[in-house]
Amino acid sequence: MRPINEVLVQTYHRGLENLIVGETNIAKVDGEKGKLWYRGYHLEDLAEHSNFDEVAYLIIHGRLPTTSQFDRWCKEIEDWHEPPIEAMTVLGWLPENTQALMLYRTMLSVAACQIPESKNTRLDAQWRRPARILSWCSTLAAAAICHISGKAPNPYNQGKLFSANFLMQALGRELTENEIKVFDVSMIVLAEHGVHAAALAALTTISTGADLGSAVLAGMGALSGKLHGGANQLAFQNLKKHQSVDEAKEWVANKLQEGYRFPGFGHRIYKTHDPRVKVLEPYIEQILHDKGENLLWDIYQTVRDDVEAELGGKGIYVNADGITGLIYYALGFPPDAFRLPTLLSVQVGWMAHCLEYLSDSKMIEPGAIYIG
């Protein structure tokens, strides 16, 4: 008989790489071909023809809404736009130099305390929560962004779709149709991506019998790290610090020699071009052009091309986090707040996975090999 450790080592994957947590109908991610579908729809088609509100409904409910379902969904989101006052009050107690993500997470925790029925984790109760979480989170994230900029929160905008309202609340200004479209597309392309690290944190939490709000909070913690959602700020800063294309080229060459891990490049699943980048690039080129930031676009292309020329053979290409910071910057978000719009979007997928998992739930609890 073989010793137990030997048997276990055969099924042990560092970072749980290639392990399957379950079956899903939500997204198909093809890492070889660089393709992504939500509920059977091509990402490219949704980005071009849909909007975030509709895509969020699709991801959570499994089908595109009819007109009346869409109107009800938007109304539900609108009805929940005001989080409990305690969540806004706590903001005033926290210093302006607190990381925006920590402010937001703390506010959501406080808001969740005010849901009297949060102890009810029956499936029907969990299904009633996505619109409320999404809507509260929009107001809370916008308020956190205002706070770190030393500004008071901006009012909710009745009758606007999700992205337009969030931008106006976060940035406190009117936006052009183009600005709203670019941002909305970024929200669509990030809304779902299978069981990535943060989605697994959310799934693990819901599998224990916790409520959907706790699952989202768990996902937030997992997403915050620099290998995950935190990469967008670092990737942007790596582009913004150069004064010229030549300087950027030299920087890439030096970093390649050092064996630097470039934030915004590489992916656990994609070993080719990230389809989300392909969708976003034309929009980003346009908005940077509109803002007079052509040099930043040239620097991005240079860094992308030089890194991919050297590391593409290893399957390292620019990822969605390598590019979304350019949108957030062009719109006027402070870099410390870059994780927040990303979070607002990706939590749609987490909630869908949690609700899907609950239909046939088993507590997630992997083991470890004792080597002491």
Binding site for ligand ACO (CB under 6 A): 15, 196, 227-228, 231, 261-268, 311, 314, 316, 319, 321
Nearer residue to ligand ACO within complex by CB, 2 or 14: 14
State the minimum distance, in angstroms, from the CB of residue 318 to ligand ACO: 9
Nearer residue to ligand ACO within complex by CB, 104 or 136: 104
State the minimum distance, in angstroms, from the CB of residue 204 to ligand ACO: 17
**What would the 3-class secondary structure string for the chain be?**
CCCHHHHHHCCCCHHHCCCCCCCCCCEEEECCCCEEEECCEEHHHHHHHCCHHHHHHHHHHCCCCCHHHHHHHHHHHHHCCCCCHHHHHHHHHCCCCCCHHHHHHHHHHHHHHCCHHHHCCCHHHHHCCHHHHHHHHHHHHHHHHHHHCCCCCCCCCCCCCHHHHHHHHHHCCCCCHHHHHHHHHHHHHHCCCCCCHHHHHHHHHHHCCCCHHHHHHHHHHHHCCCCCCCHHHHHHHHHHCCCCHHHHHHHHHHHHHHCCCCCCECCCCCCCCCHHHHHHHHHHHHHHHHCCCHHHHHHHHHHHHHHHHHHHHHCCCECHHHCHHHHHHHHCCCHHHCHHHHHHHHHHHHHHHHHHHHCCCCCCCCCCCCCC
Nearer residue to ligand ACO within complex by CB, 207 or 319: 319
Nearer residue to ligand ACO within complex by CB, 184 or 192: 192
Residue nearest to ligand ACO (CB): 266
State the minimum distance, in angstroms, from the CB of residue 79 to ligand ACO: 31
State the minimum distance, in angstroms, from the CB of residue 228 to ligand ACO: 4
State the minimum distance, in angstroms, from the CB of residue 97 to ligand ACO: 25
State the minimum distance, in angstroms, from the CB of residue 347 to ligand ACO: 13
Nearer residue to ligand ACO within complex by CB, 143 or 323: 323
Nearer residue to ligand ACO within complex by CB, 15 or 372: 15
State the minimum distance, in angstroms, from the CB of residue 131 to ligand ACO: 24
Nearer residue to ligand ACO within complex by CB, 46 or 198: 198
